[in-house]
Structure 1
């Protein structure tokens, strides 16, 4: 009996079935079977091209989704079933993730088994691929513990797809008649409402494809009434389940109001829809229910009162107000843009100030990264050059005291950019910034590339996210210098950002501290973080995933901390892309041996304090390797990441220490001591030699002397061979 039966069902809509079956064939799983309930000749012919690995169940044209699912399930022998529509997709490795999680549930189940496993998904449209869903945070918040829906009613708010949930086969067969409907959202909700217990997997394991509406058969106006029927059939299942009933009621009212507002229904259908929606809203309203505040509350009240005419009047008034506000804002923007453009053009006619330098980092977050290290060295070697930082109004209050700065969009901002001799950034300046012939633009970057960047993102739309590549190249053409930490990076920048800039193979200035810091600096960093002497500090720093909506820890941090023991503290740092919402959803900023350091700056201090690094695909691994301390890669979704984001080399083969594919493997690497054994040290040494090539503690000095002081290449400090470098001492030596 296989662990998982992947049941692909439906017609070969627009030819997408072939890609789905090809992806399954490319990543076969011994403990899974693939069954295709093929509707129509095209689907059957496509599926038969993948036999004998695939079981084909041919069905006549016009067979509905419910019947196709039933036919596939009848041939399935797996313990768990995953229904995948033939138009949809599966990220690489998705069946493996589902099979492993369900196997884990099977081994931990008691007398009350888990019936449904929920997981995250992405959405692909005819316009863009693999857009992240908003479900990740809710799945992460639910945690890994299985529970009844009544204890986690918010899970009803997940996208109602059968593809983002796996069903225990015994549960499916016991409730097959209740789940047999062509209305997929109804079936998806019904599965949760009938389930005994539910578990979650906060990883992406499904790609929901939305076909262009104009390519589908037109819907009859009266079909919209089926939405009311859906909820009228589901809400009786929530009697005496107060929390579940309240959530499902909210979903119903939201869907009814949204459909009525957005659908251009004929007048007679609109009136009937509104009447029936009103009856349902009154009939199923929970006791003590409070309407939402503001305009939504007014809409709900009008719906419950069956006030069709007043609702239409409210819609018309709101449209008129929105149109008027939009027109006013547009006029203000045009006027403001003209004024700013005039001021900037006037400033561009002034002479360039040879002693003025502009610095920015991470989209104007503040003093950080390579620009910060360069500015510090500049103050030491060329104090005549005045630095001005570009920082957002929100982050200005966090600047070090006395930092001269400008706020983007202000008059002084444009005047400073227009007249500065030096412009340094670890990302790009805005498109509107003009490259003056006698100004110098220094691009420092902010990491060594594992993932594909620049033009190399064109084949990975989930990463590109609608990027304007022509505008990107126009920004790149303004660079005079591009900074690099190793020859791999130099080659990748030249490929991803082709232009005439000069590559500075000097190392990353932000990494100088790893060679200039001493034992006292290491001790001070640990004291600031509250790490007690003798504790092992493990820095966990996962990267951003383009196919996920927010930071969702890929580890059960509390369980990992327990496995590692009381002498280990986890420092958890979310990627900066997640901003103020970065804090992992496991509780307070410090909970026992787990410390949220997402907002802690600088990150270099965290690295100095840590005995080891755990990351997935973050460029922090290349920086941390300078310290010659243990690194463990947690690569639970490597296949998905490699496929959706694109990579420049195989991290599984060229890793910096040890690799774990599951949380259990990660815990065992630490418990067994493999994280710092001879094999890990050997892999780390090869990794350091390749990727820490130019980092020797004097990168900032080389940059300042070459770019700001104009010294020739031969006069710069030579790069110290890696075997002659002495990084900051590890904590066990620094605190001895």
Structure 2
């Protein structure tokens, strides 16, 4: 008996069917059967199914004599299922790599629950990917019932984001009804009846968003089916007195769902909209529980259709007024900034404004400069710009800050003398005569930046290079850690700044390499004493719109490293809030397979806690070289990366350590121990000499004294940086 019976209804999806079947049959987990139900598809889907069935005996094709629709096609497949769990997958969607293995592991971990709910991501026709906005509801360790966690019913009411224990489905007699919205009278009864529900915080399905929309996006009277579908739900609850307490919840859900359909201008013919509202209102009144309050947003159903239309029109008018008000405020802020810049009063020589990573908090080079200024020049008041109150709440308790675009922000930036940032300031901030703008950048450049992107249309997608250069015209000083950076920044940003050979302030801590700090981070991350920490830090890709390309099977890599090793993963900041972590990283962290250190605020802490860095083309390698610890460059797509983004040097020819071109090479490198051999050390030494020449541990001090206080101070001595005296692991246990 297979673990999963995957039922795939098929109708007019010839352009997507190959991808769907490939994603299922190509899974590493193979204990499955696939039941493809050809719902009398008029295109070539039948031939495609036959070809796949001839190659893989796990696929069986069921042909229906007439078209019956999505729900009843699923019903037709269920009697043929023999697996422990039913999985209903739409034929234009796809499974993510490793999805079935993750589902099987979670089922084992939770003792075969009735239902396992997992995550998904929408994939748009234009290339974007967006994770389910309610993914946090899936981060639940134990099994539960809907009564214990009713928020599970706030998830999208679809059938394909769950797997169902087959004997549970058969015992309860669940089936799909005909018509639109057939998932509604399946999902609510299933979740309300399940005695054991489990969740998996992992994206297992890519939910394709077609340009022309789904069948539910079409204009049709079939949308009236939603009323009967909810009537089925209410009949189910009425037949089970123990579920009576769910009636207020379901009553509200029904009202919300129907009003949502009515709010979409392309769902119903204009002549049918009044009838749809009236039928919804009738049903809303008929099923209203005695004494149950009506939510404010649903009270419109207690009035007539004319009142509903007037309210909709008023809402649109209000939104338009709000939009115009925002435009007026923005224009006023720009005029205010220009007026402030022209004021005759002098700047405050003791006021500095800091920002990092688009106003995320006290981070990076600006943070290191701020700390040094507090010690060396305590008379200079440092004020941080943060994006919102949530960011402000996470600041250190003694941090002076202003919110972006607030009146306080405009007052501070109108008077400050010093501006320190690793990202460009907003365009509305005008540079006043006498102010000093210090730009720190975010690392040594490998990939093309600034004006060099003009020849790379794919890499500059969404980037206004001329505007970027106009903002860079405000820079007075550009900090550099090596001559390579100096030359690149002057070419990529043909502006009026002067290069400052200060070194990178954020990396002062790496030159000192305090062992106790690294040990503290290891303890915080839960790394066992004595383990060798392998840090994997990949960068984003410009040949994919969302930047995410999975180069390594992380579970396999962690297993191949073996006992005595801890794999720590640090994603690129631009991928941290996207779907990347939901594609397995979060789940593997929860299970203790690896450590996800993406949320560690200071990346230097993660570097200090590690014994070896595995990266592709991340600028972290230039910082990590300061630790004089092994670096492995995994460059399996170097040609594609360089062709799409552009690179200032062939990093595979001037690598900081061993280079691998496939996962097999990477695994063998660690299996043999050659990742830390003499050749690795030789390559690292040459790399350090070239790219770490100005980093001597005094960069932040140098910035404060020379660029803020105007004191004479020699530049950092060029040449190889002293090797940290603590050795491998910065005082941590050396790799065995």
Matches within 5 A, 1:91-490: 94=96, 97-105=98-106, 107=108, 113-127=112-126, 129-139=128-138, 141-143=139-141, 145-171=142-168, 178-179=175-176, 181=178, 183=180, 184-186=182-184, 189-190=187-188, 192-193=190-191, 194-213=193-212, 219=218, 222-238=221-237, 239=240, 240-241=242-243, 244-263=246-265, 269-286=272-289, 289-291=292-294, 297-303=295-301, 305=302, 307-324=304-321, 326-344=323-341, 346=342, 358-377=353-372, 389-392=383-386, 394=389, 408-409=404-405, 423-433=419-429, 442-446=438-442, 471=467, 475=471
* Secondary structure at 1:15 match in 2: coil
**8 Å contact from structure 2 (residues 125, 210) kept in 1:** yes
Go from structure 1 to structure 2 and tell me whether the alpha carbon gap of 1:70 and 1:315 turns closer, same or farther (over 3 Å shift). Answer: closer
What is the aligned partner in structure 1 of residue 88 from structure 2? 83
What is the aligned partner in structure 2 of residue 559 from structure 1? none
Query: Offset at 1:156?
Result: 1.9
State the Cα deviation string for residues 625-654 of structure 1 (Å, max 9, x = none): 96689999xxxxxxxxx9xx999999xx99
Query: Offset at 1:97?
Result: 3.8
Query: Offset at 1:121?
Result: 1.2
**8 Å contact from structure 1 (residues 179, 190) kept in 2:** no
Find the aligned partners of 2:246 and 2:572 in 1 and give their Cα distance: 32
The equivalent position to 2:505 in structure 1, one of 506, 509, 513, is 509
Go from structure 1 to structure 2 and tell me whether the alpha carbon gap of 1:372 and 1:223 turns closer, same or farther (over 3 Å shift). Answer: same
Go from structure 1 to structure 2 and tell me whether the alpha carbon gap of 1:519 and 1:318 turns closer, same or farther (over 3 Å shift). Answer: closer
* Secondary structure at 1:167 match in 2: strand
Find the aligned partners of 1:16 and 1:625 in 2 and give their Cα distance: 46
**8 Å contact from structure 2 (residues 537, 615) kept in 1:** yes
Find the aligned partners of 1:281 and 1:153 in 2 and give their Cα distance: 21
Query: Offset at 1:363?
Result: 2.7
Go from structure 1 to structure 2 and tell me whether the alpha carbon gap of 1:69 and 1:516 turns closer, same or farther (over 3 Å shift). Answer: same
Find the aligned partners of 1:646 and 1:132 in 2 and give their Cα distance: 26
Query: Offset at 1:340?
Result: 3.2
Find the aligned partners of 2:488 and 2:98 in 1 and give their Cα distance: 32
State the Cα deviation string for residues 661-718 of structure 1 (Å, max 9, x = none): 9xxxxxxxxxxxxx99979977998998799863653443566688779999995223
Query: Offset at 1:228?
Result: 1.6
Query: Offset at 1:316?
Result: 4.7
What is the aligned partner in structure 2 of residue 560 from structure 1? none
Go from structure 1 to structure 2 and tell me whether the alpha carbon gap of 1:20 and 1:147 turns closer, same or farther (over 3 Å shift). Answer: same
State the Cα deviation string for residues 476-501 of structure 1 (Å, max 9, x = none): 67667766779999999999x78779
**8 Å contact from structure 2 (residues 219, 269) kept in 1:** no
* Secondary structure at 2:201 match in 1: strand
Q: Could you tell me the TM-score, scaled by structure 1's length?
A: 0.65
Query: Offset at 1:169?
Result: 4.5
State the Cα deviation string for residues 361-416 of structure 1 (Å, max 9, x = none): 233345432112234446778x5996754424847798789988766446785687
Find the aligned partners of 2:517 and 2:299 in 1 and give their Cα distance: 62
Matches within 5 A, 1:658-669: none
Q: How many residues align?
A: 663
Find the aligned partners of 1:469 and 1:187 in 2 and give their Cα distance: 52
Query: Offset at 1:136?
Result: 0.6
**8 Å contact from structure 2 (residues 27, 99) kept in 1:** no
State the Cα deviation string for residues 38-80 of structure 1 (Å, max 9, x = none): 5332334555665654547366895522344356656666544
Go from structure 1 to structure 2 and tell me whether the alpha carbon gap of 1:468 and 1:261 turns closer, same or farther (over 3 Å shift). Answer: same
Find the aligned partners of 1:574 and 1:220 in 2 and give their Cα distance: 42
**8 Å contact from structure 1 (residues 3, 99) kept in 2:** no
**8 Å contact from structure 1 (residues 625, 688) kept in 2:** yes
Q: Does 1:43 align with 2:41?
A: no
* Secondary structure at 2:164 match in 1: strand
Please identify, of 1-10 and 367-376, the stretch whose mean Cα deviation from structure 2 is larger.
1-10
* Secondary structure at 1:142 match in 2: coil
Q: What RMSD, in angstroms, separates the aligned Cα atoms of the two structures? A: 6.6
Go from structure 1 to structure 2 and tell me whether the alpha carbon gap of 1:507 and 1:207 turns closer, same or farther (over 3 Å shift). Answer: farther
Structure 2: state its 5+ residue gaps: 548-553, 555-562, 578-585, 587-595, 633-640, 664-669
**8 Å contact from structure 1 (residues 689, 722) kept in 2:** no
**8 Å contact from structure 2 (residues 420, 439) kept in 1:** yes
**8 Å contact from structure 2 (residues 501, 716) kept in 1:** no
* Secondary structure at 2:71 match in 1: helix
**8 Å contact from structure 2 (residues 353, 418) kept in 1:** yes
Please identify, of 468-477 and 256-265, the stretch whose mean Cα deviation from structure 2 is larger.
468-477
Find the aligned partners of 1:223 and 1:163 in 2 and give their Cα distance: 22
Go from structure 1 to structure 2 and tell me whether the alpha carbon gap of 1:59 and 1:133 turns closer, same or farther (over 3 Å shift). Answer: same
